[in-house]
Amino acid sequence: MADTWYEVKQAKAENRYELVLSGADVSKRISENGLDMSIFTLINLNFLEISKTTLPTLPDHVADLSNLMQLVLHSNELKTLPSAIGKLTKLKILDVSRNGLTELPIEICSLTLMQRLNLSGNQLSRLPDDFGQLNKLITLNVSQNQLEEFPINCTGEFNFLTELNAKSNKVKNIPSNIHNLSCIKMLDLEENGIKVVPGELADCGKLKELNLKGNALNDKRLKKMVDQCHSKQVLEYIRAHCPKESADSAQKSKSKTKKGGKSKGKDNSEVDQVLDVLEVLHLGDETPVVTMMDAVKDIRPHILCCILRNVDLVTENKFKKFIALQSKLHDNECEKRNSATIATHDLAKIQANLIYDALPPNEIKLVPLLGQKEVNGLEFYNQLRKEADALRKEKKRNTYSGIHKYLYLLDGKSLYPCLKLEKNGPVISLPPITNSDVTKITTETTDILVEVTSSSSLAICKKVLDVLLHSTLQLGVGQNGCQNGDTVDEEVPNLLKVEQVKIVDKIGQLRAVYPSRTDLQLQNVRIMRNFD
């Protein structure tokens, strides 16, 4: 029997909830000895990816991973899927794109919590008859297959579907009842065999992106428009010139209200029920206010904050995942902290308004994260510099690692930016290097103050916070009130509550507030703004 793969051993030892197996090395092991079956003993997994390999079949033992919510199997050599896949009843995301699938097992229709399904790049000629049972789908990608019929029935089952990609198939007709896709926003039918477009397509009131390029349309003017014009213009032409096939559809068209109004058909209240929810709370009387002083405007002039309310960092290893998320954002969106820096604080340990200032290093007093005693900024910088040089010599490297690689951002600065409590309170953050151990978050933290600073622009701060909130929402960190003991209703979307924090200048004039009404333009997320 082949040895257990080291990735599987590590996942088991650390009780991980995610496992990724991808690339040439994994592919070689599969070719030589087959897939390591001990993968299917990791029953706590909720995310499994096996991709870019020679994997020819998915074992029936996949059914043992009963807690899986995301299964990614793209770019393998799968020809079929086992019927056992239907036992993964918690599955919400399935990606089997870029394989050689010729059919799907009927049991896939048992995955009634499925929200995102990617079947692109296979050899499918049809979908199962009971495909309509997947009525919580939000996105469906069946592009680059061999489908000859429109991929789904438009009889009212898919009330949550917002994106349908059926590009590069052999579809000949668009059904006249397509208006029943009441929440569809993106429809891609490029490179099919469509000749006639029904006027009912224009009755899809939420449709914003339509792609009909590469079809042999009989209407030559429409064919020219789809190649040259925006979706809005194409839809207007379809509404005015393409015949409708049913009187019912014409009546539906008349029932639409003027721009900005609601239709009398289904609105998106039902799709909102399945989308994750980000609830924005208006700043209250007890919300800390951040005062920005003049001195910091020439050093690191941009700051935004917000508060994550009622978070759960205890269950499902969420604390580690949240910390890992910040590290990932620092490397990517924050560009190795060159563009921006994130700091998080336990709000219960603050209990005061805040001052964002720039001070001489020797006047800054703080207990650094994971530190034991208070030091001034200059002592801390010199200490880190000494540690960095020692580590570099010990490991015989020319570069620094960890926190030490960011020290150059403070080189030669006569003033350091810092966030501190008002009335000569302690410093709780020294961007872009560290925040204070005094206010660090733990698994017991329920309210988190998030701080993002930048020397580049306020737009960067907003972008980083948008991504942070979206990713935190997907982690399920918010306590949505639907828990019953240790059991969570899988049909209940994630909920995250975020409270506004305002930034003012030294005379109290508003400089910024986040999140404002124009922030958080997120895909497939319901934004609830509870403003007075």
Q: What is the mean pLDDT of the chain?
A: 86
DSSP letters, 377-436, are: HHHHHHHHHHHHHHHHHHTT-SS--GGGGGGGGGTT-SSEEEEEETTT--EEEETTTEEB
What per-residue confidence (pLDDT) applies to 381?
Answer: 79
Query: Pick from 241, 266, 285: which residue ends a domain?
Result: 241
Per cent of the chain over pLDDT 90 is 60
Residues 231 and 365 reside in one and the same domain: no
- The answer to whether position 267 is within a domain reads no
Q: If DSSP states are collapsed to H, E and C, what string results for 478-496?
A: ECCCCEECCEECCCCCCEE
Does 318 lie in the same domain as 206? no
4 has a pLDDT exceeding 70 = yes
pLDDT at 406: 58
Residue 293 lies in a domain: yes
**pLDDT above 90 for 45:** yes
| pLDDT value for 482 | 43
Which CATH number characterizes residue 307's domain? 3.50.40.10
Coil, strand, or helix at residue 498? strand
In a shared domain, residues 457 and 501: yes
**399 pLDDT higher than 50:** no
Q: Are strands 302-309 and 495-505 parallel, antiparallel or unpaired?
A: antiparallel
Could you tell me the residue range of the domain that residue 70 belongs to? 6-241
Query: Among 34-48, 321-335, 406-420, 475-489, whose mean pLDDT is lowest?
Result: 475-489
Sign of CA dihedral 277, 278, 282, 285: positive
Which amino acid makes up residue 15?
N
In this predicted structure, what is the pLDDT of residue 155? 79
Least confidently predicted of 31-35, 92-96, 408-412, 455-459: 408-412
Are residues 93 and 203 part of one domain?
A: yes
pLDDT digits (tens, 9 = 90+) for 187-224: 999 999 999 999 999 999 999 999 999 999 999 999 99
Q: Are residues 226 and 354 in the same domain?
A: no
The three-class DSSP label of residue 475 is: helix
Nearest to 467 by CA among 480, 481, 450: 450
User: Domain for residue 77, yes or no?
Assistant: yes
Q: Is 265 contained in some domain?
A: no
Taking residues 500-509, report their average pLDDT.
93
Name the 3-class secondary structure at 306: strand
Count Cβ atoms within 10 A of the Cβ of residue 199 and give its class: 0-12 exposed, 13-18 middle, 19 or more buried.
Answer: buried
pLDDT digits (tens, 9 = 90+) for 229-284: 889 999 999 999 999 875 444 444 444 444 444 444 445 555 555 678 899 999 88
Residues 234 and 322 reside in one and the same domain: no
pLDDT (0 to 100) of residue 394:
66
Going 167 to 171 to 172 to 176, the CA torsion angle's sign is negative
Of 18-27, 36-45, 245-254, 497-506, which gets the smallest average pLDDT? 245-254
Say if 402 falls within a structural domain. yes
* pLDDT of 152 strictly over 80: yes
Tell me: do 222 and 287 sit in the same domain.
Answer: no
Least confident interval from 97-101, 381-385, 502-506: 381-385
Residue 257 domain-assigned? no
Q: List pLDDT tens digits, range 66-87.
A: 999 999 999 999 999 999 999 9
Segment among 18-32, 298-312, 403-417 with least mean pLDDT: 403-417
271 falls within a domain: no
Lowest mean pLDDT among 346-350, 391-395, 423-427: 391-395
Same domain, 185 and 295: no
**pLDDT level of residue 407 (50, 70, 90 thresholds):** low
Query: Which of 195, 222, 241 is the C-terminal boundary of a domain?
Result: 241
The answer to whether position 430 is within a domain reads yes
Residue 463 pLDDT exceeds 60: yes
Query: Do 300 and 431 touch, CB atoms closer than 8 A?
Result: yes
Same domain, 216 and 292: no
CA 110 – CA 157 distance, rounded (Å): 15
**CATH, residue 30:** 3.80.10.10
Q: What number of H helices and E strands is found in the chain?
A: 9, 25
pLDDT given for residue 408 in this prediction = 63
pLDDT at 398: 47
Is residue 333 domain-shared with residue 427, that is, in the same domain?
yes
Average pLDDT, stretch 132-139? 92
Element at 318 (helix H, strand E) = helix 318-331
Same domain, residue pair 92 and 179: yes
Q: Evaluate whether 420 touches 355 at the Cβ level (below 8 Å).
A: yes
Of the chain, the percentage scoring pLDDT greater than 70 comes to 87
Number of domains comprising the chain: 2
Q: What is the pLDDT of residues 427-441, one digit of tens each?
A: 999 888 888 999 999
Residue 166's nearest CA partner among 197, 136, 144, 137 is 144
Contacts of 332 (CB under 8 A, 6+ apart): none
